[in-house]
Structure 1
């Protein structure tokens, strides 16, 4: 008897944001990883390098984590008094590391060109050139049904744009005729966003340190 191929799981936008945030922080702030629920909340709701912006609650994130755990895409880590979470995306979806990086960025920042993806993935993984990025995107687009089907789609070219944007399919089909939202590729804006992202991560890490110290000293956390 021939078994039917298993399709890739369809995520909700909140689940995609939670998963993408875990994937990002594993590479950009490894000292704080795996993440606590509070740190994950801050990462999901940060105002930089996110499209769309979200204002999620702890309850929404907890529900998303439960669903992602049932799909084998998130795991709880042991060895800490506070529950922490880590992703299992690459193995759970069955893709190469480079493909996982591209999908993670698409989940966090929305449709992007191959050039934008190469620039935005520098802190995650350094691709040799844009052709390398395009090669992995094309593999994800041509992914066979036996492996779960395509995971990205190439969108229509925006008026006046030189390159087409790519979108992920982890939340279900998208309209490939859409051109996507036009974004500024200004270097100053990009650098500012990166600095803000690092500051948010540092504040999150400092907050966790203070919480641990207060717990060890038996005192309440200042309001």
Structure 2
């Protein structure tokens, strides 16, 4: 279970935290993130499991809840609010552990070897043993475990780890039972299909860094466009005020001219 003073997160809140941890390392030039960039990161099609389609309002609600728990910090810049993560300080864990938690929040349960590969852009671990060491520390944490080693599924070579920030993890056993009861030809067919899926995922991962950067920059451009619209609106308001002031000055000048004419006639 999570730490006693940290209620379980919702899946979307966990996704938001994972995105903030990831983007802090992968796109530091645009970090802290705007809400638009954060929504794009949550709905990203690569390096996410499951893929979701959260709305801006839903992400904002998740951010607000995380702010109340001090896990997210809000800052203002150029009239647009930006958000950064505060996981390391709140959970009192090292940056290596934060990287592993973020990868689990973004991609779901994974083996230690998968975690090492998938977290490389956040933190580069020397080897799988190093990953396992930090996972063990998270699992044996005095304030409450933050990860758990799931039972190894039939046919799987390694057991997977899952985070506990959203509460206890329930592993479905029906699918595992069906896999265990499969015939040898079926297992061979499944293995071939798994190989094809792995190949497709590898190709997607190769394009992932550029796609992530593109999505982040797209969100940033959207935010800047919003800033520009706000400034145009402000300038329009000032211009309207200036036009009103100009009209008032013209009326005053007209009255002064009439007054001068009256004085001239009186003196003449």
Determine if the TM-score, normalized by the shorter chain, exceeds 0.5.
yes
Q: Describe the SS at the equivalent of 1:127.
A: coil
Instruction: Give the equivalent residue in structure 1 for 2:213.
Output: 201
Does 2:84 match 1:82? no
Does 2:146 match 1:151? yes
Following TM superposition, by how much is the alpha carbon of 1:196 offset from its aligned partner in structure 2, in angstroms?
3.6
Higher Rg of the two aligned structures: 2
1:190 to 185, 199, 202: 202
**Structure 1, 205-214 or 191-200: larger mean CA deviation:** 205-214
Instruction: Give the equivalent residue in structure 1 for 2:165.
Output: 170
Give the Cα separation in 2 of the matches to 1:178 and 1:102. 25
Following TM superposition, by how much is the alpha carbon of 1:61 offset from its aligned partner in structure 2, in angstroms?
0.7
Write the deviation string for residues 158-217 of structure 1: whole angstroms up to 9, x where unpaired. 222211000000000113675999976836623423414522432431453365368188
Q: Describe the SS at the equivalent of 2:80.
A: coil
Residues 64, 211 of structure 1: CA spacing in aligned structure 2 closer, same or farther, 3 A cutoff? closer
Instruction: Give the equivalent residue in structure 1 for 2:36.
Output: 38
Q: Is the Cα contact below 8 Å between 1:158 and 1:180 reproduced in 2? A: no
Following TM superposition, by how much is the alpha carbon of 1:142 offset from its aligned partner in structure 2, in angstroms?
0.8
Q: Describe the SS at the equivalent of 1:158.
A: coil
Residues 63, 180 of structure 1: CA spacing in aligned structure 2 closer, same or farther, 3 A cutoff? farther
Gaps (5+ residues) in structure 1?
Answer: none
2:224 to 196, 203, 212: 212
Give the Cα separation in 1 of the matches to 2:77 and 2:126. 37
Q: Describe the SS at the equivalent of 1:77.
A: strand
Gaps (5+ residues) in structure 2?
Answer: 180-193, 234-268
Q: Is the Cα contact below 8 Å between 2:41 and 2:215 reproduced in 1? A: no
Aligned residues: 212
Following TM superposition, by how much is the alpha carbon of 1:156 offset from its aligned partner in structure 2, in angstroms?
0.9
Residues 211, 142 of structure 1: CA spacing in aligned structure 2 closer, same or farther, 3 A cutoff? closer
1:1-223 equivalent positions in 2, closer than 5 A: 6-144=4-142, 147=143, 149-175=144-170, 186=198, 189-206=201-218, 208-209=220-221, 212=224, 215=228, 218=232
Q: Describe the SS at the equivalent of 1:170.
A: coil
Give the Cα separation in 2 of the matches to 1:18 and 1:70. 14
Give the Cα separation in 1 of the matches to 2:166 and 2:172. 17
Give the Cα separation in 1 of the matches to 2:116 and 2:160. 12
Q: Select the structure that is richer in helix.
A: 2
